[in-house]
Structure formats: C-alpha cells, structure tokens
DNA sequence: TTGCTCCTCACGTCACGTGAGGTGGC
DNA sequence: TTGCTCCTCACGTCACGTGAGGTGGC
C-alpha cells in the first residue's frame, strides 16, 4: 500500500536494520532462510530494500518477539498471508473458486489459532500483573513498617 | 509454603521436568548455571528435588516464556526475590534497618520495571488481537463473496 | 581520494536437543 | 535379576553476535 513509486525507495541494509531494531546480520540470516529478500542488489552486490520489505521485517519481528514463534513457523504464516494477498491480484482471477476457498480456509484457521494463542497469553499476563501488584502492596507495607521502626 | 514435611518430598528429575513441561537436560543446565539446584542427591548421584524446587522452576519458566528474560536476568530477579523472602526469616533480624530498606528498594524497583514491561506487552498484544479480528472479518467477507459466486 | 557502509567467510554464544556408553534404584 | 530412569560427556542446532579481511558507493 506504500507509494507505487518509481522504485526510488532503495534502502540500505543498515537503515532497514535500524528501523526494525535488529542487526544487519539478522537481515542477511533471514535472506539465507528465504524469509526476507531485498527488493534488489547494486551491481557491486549491496542489498537494496523497499518499504514493503521493512513492513515484512516488522511483521516477522512481531510474530517472533510478541508471539514466540520460531522462524520456520513464521515462514509458513507469512506464506499463507502472501497467498491471501494474492487473492486481490488480477492474475489470480484465473484460479478456480475451489482453490480460492482452500486458501481462505487455511488463512482463517491460522487466524483462529493465533487469536486463541493471543487470548491465552493475555490471560497469563493479566494474572502475572496481578501477582506483581499484590507483591508491590506487600513491599509498601514492609517499607511503612520499617519507616515507623527506624523513624529515619 | 508447601508442607514443612519431613523432607519425604523427594522428586526425581524426570518427574519435575514433566510437571514443568521441560526436559531433564534443561534442569541439569539450570543447575550448571547455578539457577536451580536439587534439594539433594542420592549416594549414587541421582538428583532429588523438593516441592520448593518445582515452584522455583515454574517461576523461571514464567519469567522466560512470558516475559522474555534471558537466564542471566532471571538469575538476578530470583536473587532479589530470595533476599526479599529472607526478610521474613529470624536469622535475618540481625541485619540493620538500613540494609533491609536497601533490599526493599531494590525489589520495589524490579517490581516496578516488570509491571511497566507487562503493561507494554499487554498493550501490544491487545492491538495485535485487534488486527487479527479485523482480518478475520475481511476473510469472512471474502468467503461470503465466494459462496455467492460459486453457489456451492 | 577519503570515510563510512557494505560484502563474505567463519568461528563464538546462548539455551538447550540428542545420542553414546555406562551405572543406579524400587 | 530385569527394566526403567538416571548419570556424564560431548557434539549438534537455532538465531543470531562478532571480528577478519576486503570491496563498494555518494
């Protein structure tokens, strides 16, 4: 959805890495795995990324950090999402309706599993936060006791 | 707080591992790091764990999986919590009030940082869930379109 | 032409996984 | 005594980190 510009959007690896809070090594590693390849390369061999690549990188990081998926799981999630976004492309119009339904079913299933997982994580984090708050109350009590004893 | 029983609570490594959903290797690795040592060992060298060890293991896993801390960070958090729980012990009564205040301050700071981190994580997960739900709505729309077209 | 960024090996690290080969406990 | 579980090496793996030594682009 970023500007369909004249591919003047050529980002260097260091810039992309910094924007996503990762190292250049991470980007090279993702390329090695086939997870994220630069939009192009200079004649000299330097990688050039587009805005879409940055979005994909941020998505990878979200799935990794927030959801705890490993890179193989992330690859399959992204593959499904890629197929899904192909459904909007004209060249895809020739695919059979049955095939499209298949892809949709796959994406819906992944979506449902992820939603369930997020809800479990939210629940666990809520109770974790509750524990922390309860402990904080205890600490405040102890500090009050100590203050009363010491009269500092 | 588990029964102050006659130490008849001697769990084998496999049992402890299964309860926490980790491998025996993980328990040996934590011992190597000084993170979690068994309550005792048999003459033959087999590790024997107590209920308190299981609780500590579950705490380690919570900090690791849910909060994303590495084992070194977890070690320092647990060390602070250990010092905190020492405040209840009688032998600790001889410590100076200033020292106790110091420990309390440290634990309070860790608690506050963790609370902030949990809140950030909760926020990000909420918006992640929102995105998933929005996508699910889109998928349902597409499926409806497809059903109307195909009349399957 | 001078820096700064990039390149490709390639070995190191963290948190374990996975056998190999052997001893231990109910 | 027979299994099943445990033990200690020790090498493998995943997701990078970290130089070494060299070329590239504004």
pLDDT in tens, A4-25: 333 457 999 999 999 999 999 9
Nearest by Cα to A30 from A47, A15, A51, A43 = A47
Residue A43 distance to chain B (closest CA, Å) = 39
Q: Which residues contact B77 (CB under 8 A, 6 or more apart)?
A: B63, B69, B110, B114
Read off φ and ψ for residue A5, nearest 5 degrees: -65, 175
Q: pLDDT value at position B6?
A: 38
Q: pLDDT value at position B4?
A: 38
Q: Examine the pLDDT at A146 and tell me if it is beyond 50.
A: yes
**pLDDT band (50, 70, 90) for residue A93:** confident
Residue nearest to nucleotide D6 (CA to C1'): B46
Q: How far is CA B98 from CA A42, A140, B101, B104, in A?
A: 63, 16, 5, 10
**pLDDT band (50, 70, 90) for residue A52:** very high
Q: For residue B128, count other CB atoms closer than 10 A to its CB.
A: 19
- Which residues of the protein have their beta carbon within 7 Å of strand D? A 22-23, 25-26, 29, 33, 42-46, 64, 70-72; B 12-15, 24-25, 28, 45-47
Question: Which among A84, A97, A112 has the least Cβ separation from residue B150?
Answer: A97
Question: Which among B100, B122, B135 has the least Cβ separation from residue A125?
Answer: B122
Q: Find the closest chain B residue to A102 by CA distance.
A: B143
Nearest by Cα to B117 from B68, B80, B78 = B68
Residue pairs between chains A and B whose CB atoms are closer than 8 Å? 96
Q: Across residues B54-61, what is the average pLDDT?
A: 98
Do B128 and A122 lie within an 8 Å CB cutoff? Answer: no
Gap from A50 CA to D22 C1', Å? 27
Residue nearest to nucleotide C17 (CA to C1'): B25
Mean pLDDT lowest among A42-46, A68-72, A148-152: A148-152
CA dist., res. A67 & res. A60, Å (int): 10
B143 secondary structure, DSSP code:
H
Q: pLDDT value at position B3?
A: 36
Q: Examine the pLDDT at B82 and tell me if it is beyond 90.
A: yes
| A3 vs B89, residue with greater confidence | B89
Q: Across residues A30-57, what is the average pLDDT?
A: 97
Q: pLDDT value at position B149?
A: 63
Q: Examine the pLDDT at A65 and tell me if it is beyond 80.
A: yes
Residue nearest to nucleotide D5 (CA to C1'): B14
Q: Across residues B64-82, what is the average pLDDT?
A: 96
Give strand letter and number of the nucleotide nearest A46 (CA to C1'): C6
Gap from A29 CA to D18 C1', Å? 14
A7: phi > 0 → left, psi -120 to 50 → alpha, else beta; which?
left
Q: pLDDT value at position A87?
A: 85
Could you say which nucleotides of strand D lie within 7 A of any protein CB atom? 5-8, 10, 14-18, 23-25
**pLDDT band (50, 70, 90) for residue A150:** low
Give strand letter and number of the nucleotide nearest B64 (CA to C1'): C15
Q: pLDDT value at position B1?
A: 39
- pTM to 2 decimals? 0.91
Q: pLDDT value at position B89?
A: 81
pLDDT digits (tens, 9 = 90+) for B26-49: 999 999 999 999 999 999 999 999
| B149 vs B146, residue with greater confidence | B146
Q: Find the closest chain B residue to A66 by CA distance.
A: B125
Strands B40-41, A47-49: pairing kind: unpaired
Q: Across residues A41-63, what is the average pLDDT?
A: 97
Asked if A102 and B142 touch (Cβ cutoff 8 Å), the reply is no
Q: pLDDT value at position A8?
A: 57
Give strand letter and number of the nucleotide nearest A65 (CA to C1'): D15
């Amino acid at each position: 959805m970023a500007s369909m510009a004249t591919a003047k959007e050529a980002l260097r690896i260091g810039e992309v890495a910094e924007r996503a809070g990762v190292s250049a090594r991470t980007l090279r590693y993702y390329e090695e795995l086939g997870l994220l390849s630069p939009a192009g390369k200079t004649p000299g061999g330097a990688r050039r990324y587009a805005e879409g690549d940055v979005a994909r990188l941020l998505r990878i990081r979200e799935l990794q950090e927030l959801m705890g998926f490993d890179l193989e799981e992330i690859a399959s999630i992204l593959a499904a999402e890629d197929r899904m976004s192909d459904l909007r492309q004209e060249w895809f119009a020739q695919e059979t309706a049955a095939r499209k339904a298949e892809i949709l079913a796959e994406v819906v299933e992944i979506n449902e599993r992820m939603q369930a997982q997020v809800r479990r994580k939210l629940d666990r984090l809520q109770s974790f936060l509750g524990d922390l708050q309860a402990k904080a109350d205890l600490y405040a009590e102890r500090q009050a006791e100590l203050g009363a004893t010491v009269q500092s």
